[in-house]
C-alpha cells in the first residue's frame, strides 16, 4: 500500500508533490530561456552600437576632409566662391543628415539600453522568485525526508514485531503438536511394554499378542515419522518467516494415525 494514498499533510490528493516538482522544473526552464534571450539581445545591441560608432567616426572624418577642401578652394579662387559655397551648403546638408542619422542611432541605442535595463530588472525578479521557491522546496524536501525516514523506521520496527509474533505463534503450534505426538508415543510405548510382558508370561497367548505387538510397533513408527515431519516443517516455516517470507502463518497438516 506504499505511495497509493495522499501523503498528509503535504498532499491533498495523490501526485501533489510530483506536480509541485514539475512546476519547479517549468520555472527553471523559463528562467533559462529568459537568460538566453537576454544574452542574444545584449549581443545584438553591442554589434549595432559598434557599427554606429564606426559610421559616426567615418562621417566626422568625411566632414573634416570636406571642410579642409572648402577652405583651400576659397583661398585658391574667388571665382569659384559661389560654386564652393554651393558645395559647402550641400556638405552642410549632408552633415546635418548624417547628424540626424547619428542622433537616430543614438536614440535607438538609448532605447536598447533602456530595454536591457528592464530585462536585467526582470531577470533579477525572476532570480529572486526562483531562489525563494527553491529554498521553500528545499525546506519541504527536508521535512518530507525526515517524515519518510521516520515512517521507514516505524515500518521496520513493525515488521520486526510482526516477524517475532509469527515466529512465536509457529513455535507455540509446534510445541503443542509435538506435545500431543510425544504423549501418543508414550502411550504406545507403554502398551507395547505391557504386551511384551504378557507375551513372555503366557505362551498360549503369544500368537495373538505377537500380532498386536506388530500393530503397535507399526503405529509407533508412523507416529515417530509424523513427529519428525511436524518438527521439520515447523522449523522450515519459522526459518522462512525470519528471512522475510510472507503467508507462512499456517498450521502443518497432521495426519491422524488410527490406534491399533
Residues 6+ positions from 165 with CB-CB distance below 8 Å: none
Residue 54 CB burial class (10 angstroms; 0-12, 13-18, ≥19): exposed
Beta-strand (E) ranges in the chain? none
Provide the phi-psi class of 8: left if phi over 0, else alpha when psi is between -120 and 50, else beta.
Answer: beta
- Arithmetic mean of pLDDT, 122-129: 91
Distance CA 244, CA 156 (A): 11
* DSSP letter, residue 247: S
C-alpha cell at position 113? 539600453
- Arithmetic mean of pLDDT, 52-67: 88
The more confidently predicted of residues 18 and 48 is 48
Q: Where are the domains of the chain?
A: 16-75, 159-243
Answer yes or no: is pLDDT of 202 > 80. no
The answer to whether 167 and 248 have CB atoms below 8 angstroms apart is no
Q: Which tens digits make up the pLDDT trace of 146-159?
A: 999 988 888 888 88
CA distance to 37, 51, 97, 247, per residue, from 48 (Å): 17, 5, 19, 78
Distance CA 10, CA 12 (A): 7
- Arithmetic mean of pLDDT, 126-150: 90
pLDDT for the residue 26: 94
Instruction: Identify the CATH number of the domain defined by range 159-243.
Output: 1.10.287
The answer to whether 199 and 213 have CB atoms below 8 angstroms apart is yes
Average pLDDT of the chain? 85
| pLDDT band (50, 70, 90) for residue 37 | very high
Q: Which tens digits make up the pLDDT trace of 223-252?
A: 899 889 888 988 988 888 888 877 777 887
Q: Can you give the pTM of this predicted structure?
A: 0.43
Amino acid at each position: 500500500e506504499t505511495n497509493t494514498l495522499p501523503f498528509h499533510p503535504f498532499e491533498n490528493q495523490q501526485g501533489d508533490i510530483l506536480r509541485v516538482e514539475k512546476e519547479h522544473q517549468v520555472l527553471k526552464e523559463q528562467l533559462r530561456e529568459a537568460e538566453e534571450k537576454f544574452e542574444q539581445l545584449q549581443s545584438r545591441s553591442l554589434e549595432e552600437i559598434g557599427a554606429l560608432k564606426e559610421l559616426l567616426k567615418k562621417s566626422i572624418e568625411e566632414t573634416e576632409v570636406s571642410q579642409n577642401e572648402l577652405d583651400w578652394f576659397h583661398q585658391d579662387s574667388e571665382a569659384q566662391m559661389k560654386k564652393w559655397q554651393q558645395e559647402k551648403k550641400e556638405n552642410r546638408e549632408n552633415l546635418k543628415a548624417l547628424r540626424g542619422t547619428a542622433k537616430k542611432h543614438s536614440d535607438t541605442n538609448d532605447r536598447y539600453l533602456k530595454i536591457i535595463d528592464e530585462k536585467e530588472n526582470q531577470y533579477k525578479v525572476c532570480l529572486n522568485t526562483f531562489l525563494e521557491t527553491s529554498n521553500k522546496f528545499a525546506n519541504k524536501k527536508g521535512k518530507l525526508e525526515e517524515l519518510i525516514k521516520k515512517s521507514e523506521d516505524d515500518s521496520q520496527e513493525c515488521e520486526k514485531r510482526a516477524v517475532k509474533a509469527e515466529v512465536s505463534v509457529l513455535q507455540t503450534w509446534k510445541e503443542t503438536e509435538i506435545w500431543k505426538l510425544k504423549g501418543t508415543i508414550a502411550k504406545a510405548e507403554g502398551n507395547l511394554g505391557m504386551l511384551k510382558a504378557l507375551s513372555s508370561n503366557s505362551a498360549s497367548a503369544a500368537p495373538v499378542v505377537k500380532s498386536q505387538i506388530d500393530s503397535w510397533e507399526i503405529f509407533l513408527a508412523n507416529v515417530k515419522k509424523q513427529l519428525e515431519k511436524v518438527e521439520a516443517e515447523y522449523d522450515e516455516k519459522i526459518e522462512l518467516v525470519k528471512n522475510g517470507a510472507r503467508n507462512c502463518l499456517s498450521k502443518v497438516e497432521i495426519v491422524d494415525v488410527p490406534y491399533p
